[in-house]
Chains A and B, each alone.
Chain A
Amino acid sequence: GQQLNQSPQSMFIQEGEDVSMNCTSSSIFNTWLWYKQDPGEGPVLLIALYKAGELTSNGRLTAQFGITRKDSFLNISASIPSDVGIYFCAGRSQGAQKLVFGQGTRLTINP
């Protein structure tokens, strides 16, 4: 079945640093999504990507839909304490309603 490899699994950074994480897939996706999960809550959608090569920003977050359609990247600039949480990538193939989720990247920020 479809698999998503998300890396890194965890990150420990200093406040103010930039963050990069990525997801790769064994198959092509038509949609890439990035979610954030705060402790004790469900995932919340951050950014949705629909076209290969697309670069989309949401405040300090920027995500890209890879040209091969098998990968996606999320960058966070100038991290702040509220960025702490688990970030998930998710992909959807053409015609599918189900999302395939990555394993998550746990972000910890030292003040």
Chain B
Amino acid sequence: DARVTQTPRHKVTEMGQEVTMRCQPILGHNTVFWYRQTMMQGLELLAYFRNRAPLDDSGMPKDRFSAEMPDATLATLKIQPSEPRDSAVYFCASGLWGADTQYFGPGTRLTVL
């Protein structure tokens, strides 16, 4: 049963600390998306990749957020320095380029104190 995995599932940190969230897309998928979910804003697209290349990161605060795909089996989202307003659930999703279905991971719940 192929699934998107995300680690950690929960993260509590203090303001100013670096946070790294990891995602393993489904094997064979060539498109990876990072979303942020909050009560106020709902699901927001932060960035997405095709064949490991970033295509669009316009949804991401550039000064503190960075997203990379070191290889086809790993996507990372880093926040440095973290702020309380970054508290949210961060989802990774993967799919095939041109297909509609995006498969979501279980999310990382981030709390910044």
Residue ranges of A at the interface with B (Cβ–Cβ < 8 Å):
31, 33, 40-45, 48, 88, 92, 97-99, 101-104
A residues near B42, Cβ cutoff 8 Å? 101-104
* Interface pair B100/A31, CB less than 8 Å apart: yes
Interface size on B, residues (CB 8 A): 21
Q: Interface-forming stretch among B13-21, B67-75, B101-109?
A: B101-109
**Number of A-B pairs whose CB atoms are under 8 Å?**
42
Asked whether any CB of chain A lies closer than 8 Å to the CB of B12, the reply is no
Q: Can you name the residue of chain B whose Cβ is closest to the Cβ of A45?
A: B101
A residues near B91, Cβ cutoff 8 Å? 42-43
A-B residue pairs in contact (CB < 8 Å), sample of 22: A40-B106, A41-B104, A41-B107, A42-B91, A42-B93, A42-B105, A43-B43, A43-B91, A45-B101, A45-B102, A48-B100, A88-B43, A92-B100, A97-B50, A98-B45, A98-B48, A98-B56, A99-B45, A99-B102, A101-B43, A104-B42, A104-B43
A residues near B100, Cβ cutoff 8 Å? 31, 33, 48, 92
What distance in Å separates the Cβ of A32 from its nearest Cβ neighbour in chain B? Answer: 9
* Interface pair A43/B45, CB less than 8 Å apart: no
What distance in Å separates the Cβ of B35 from its nearest Cβ neighbour in chain A? Answer: 8
What distance in Å separates the Cβ of A34 from its nearest Cβ neighbour in chain B? Answer: 11
* Interface pair A42/B4, CB less than 8 Å apart: yes
A104 to B80, CA, bound (A): 30
What distance in Å separates the Cβ of B84 from its nearest Cβ neighbour in chain A? Answer: 22
Q: Can you name the residue of chain B whose Cβ is closest to the Cβ of A40?
A: B106
* Interface pair A97/B48, CB less than 8 Å apart: yes
* Interface pair A97/B107, CB less than 8 Å apart: no
* Interface pair B104/A43, CB less than 8 Å apart: yes
B residues near A41, Cβ cutoff 8 Å? 104, 106-107
A56 to B31, CA, bound (A): 26
Q: Can you name the residue of chain B whose Cβ is closest to the Cβ of A99?
A: B102
A44 to B91, CA, bound (A): 12
Q: Can you name the residue of chain A whose Cβ is closest to the Cβ of B102?
A: A99
Q: Which of B55, B98, B104, B106 has the most CB of A within 10 A?
A: B104
B residues near A98, Cβ cutoff 8 Å? 45, 48, 56
